[in-house]
Structure 1
Amino acid sequence: MCDACEQSLASNTKRSSAQYATLATGLFPMQQNLRNRKPQVDMTQDLHRVPGSRPPLEIARVMDAEQQFSGRRPLGDRMRSALRTLSDEVNWLWCDPPTQAYAVAAPRRGGIDLELVADPTNLSAGIELLDLVCDRMPTGRLWTHGDKSSGRTAAEANGLEKERELWLMSRDLTDPITVPQPPAGFRFRLFRPGIDDISWLELNRKAFESLPDQGSWTAADLQTRLTADWYDPNGFFVADYDGQLAGFHWTKMETSGSTTTPATGEVFLIATAEEYRGSGISEPLLLAGLEYLQRQGAHQAHLFVDSSNSRAASFYAKSGFEHRDSDRCFGWKR
């Protein structure tokens, strides 16, 4: 271990050296001053390996416990995918004993993106783990999922500043949905992979210019979603105006895995090009996707919208969506 890390370990008396050794072992190869060391916790072949470490099997129990408590899945799509793939972009972190709290980190320019899950009966474990991560990485941001998430509890306990809030809004899909005809000159069609990619990426960039996580998508990012196991080519609608891409509505079905719990649908991405806003295309484009989700068996649909985007939130509210919960992004710089 580097001299700086040794000094940090020696100066902090709140936690054992074994806890820090495990954290440093699970910590990022992106932090070049930490040597690769064998993790001092039991490994499992049941979860795929990611560089630096792989999470103990116990993480499945902790994730399930938090989901039962909060009503939300504790990790986002990107991090959950890392549990199923050999992705080399994330690393898992935990403290001894490896039964209470876990974090997953991905590098980004100038810091890390972090998500956290903790046993709801021992939220202090998540608070302490986040404290350790912030101590090791001077700059980063933590995404949390839900008002009752362990990540939010840990962020607020550590005094992190909230940078963004995404509202989770949902509406019922049990009543019949009538899709209005698009305004004159517009037509709806399906996205054409390999043909619409460039124009879609450009529209996505402009539409989400203020949200760099979404607006910075590359062709590779798009391809990753187009090849995901959830992708449905019949649920990706675009609005065409005289051969130009005027808008899109990308839907997503989420199955519960239960025969008794109805499936839900998601407005995964939706946008209208600036020059066509006010044309009347947004409502039929939204309803076209919702009607498709309904035909696929969804009884409810949800979406995420930035809390600061009052125009979009108002539009969704008028379309029957209600604010149910929130995801938050907390940042630190020390």
Structure 2
Amino acid sequence: MSSSAQYLNPSEAARRLGVSAKALRLYEQRGLVAPVRTAAGWRAYGPEEMARAAEIAALRALGLSLAQTARVLGGDPQGLEPALAAHQASLEDRARQLAGAVEKVRGLRTDLAQGKTPAAADLARLAGPAGEISVAFDLPWPWGGERFELRDIRPINYIIGSLGSGKTRLAMRLAETLPDAAFLPLERTADSARLAADPALKARVDATLAWLAEDGATASDALVALLVALEAEGPAILVVDMVEQGLDEPTQEALIAHLRRRGPGARPLFLMTRSCAILDLAAVGPDEAIILCPANHAPPTRVAPYPGAPGYEAVATCLASPDVRARTEGLIAWRPPAA
């Protein structure tokens, strides 16, 4: 290892690349990048390894699976066309949103030049994304009817809480209150009849399954049932009960990577979860939000994904690895009767 070059440990390398340390480990496991080893045997990333990892992260951001990324890095462009087409569509969507915002500003400046003072609400809306979705309602039991408001709904919104925290009731109320929303319950099976009747839907599901498989996912009825709901033309917002249900760890990791690549203009999703493979706190991006249902039945609150933020430790203690979640699946809190 050259003493003149700067070498970074995995956590620092991941921070500079804007990915999680888990993602770096996955790149290494797939043979896409090979960190050097220090004299003590620790992984380290020098300039060459960082450049390679940056290329991988950029290709992943374009929507390529790990297998497609490997092919592109090897000189094979297979898979680039659909990825570039999807990225173009995302950019065009952002451009439309920006054009709408520019038009609003132009209108407010015109009003101001004519002596009309813009309303504070109109000015405040300029800070939010175009078409911002918000919701407000009185909280159901086990809360006491407190008012709950959620603004700036992101493409991915995690709902998390301990057993008995009320997260399922919150999710169901969100599905009832949000316009054109649907609730996907825990009991779900692959609808083969629906796929047979809708070739376009089947094609989308099959394409997504292929992408997930290349990222290490295992095909199953639970995964297909989830993808049918995610890929179907229908509700503008989907609320999913325990998204990790029936999925192993590699499948969960592949699924959340797929959902993240949809971009900022994607259909909003509310994902109930207690899996750290789905909600990796180190990987939460700007298009994601965390909603915590506290164990003491205080009103649900949005939690920032960094240590020291209010509620962060409570969120972290609710999460477990998929193998732990599988062992405790179906358990309920129980207290022995008083003597």
TM-score, scaled relative to structure 2 = 0.28
TM-score, scaled relative to structure 1 = 0.29
Looking at secondary structure, tell me which structure has more strand per residue.
1
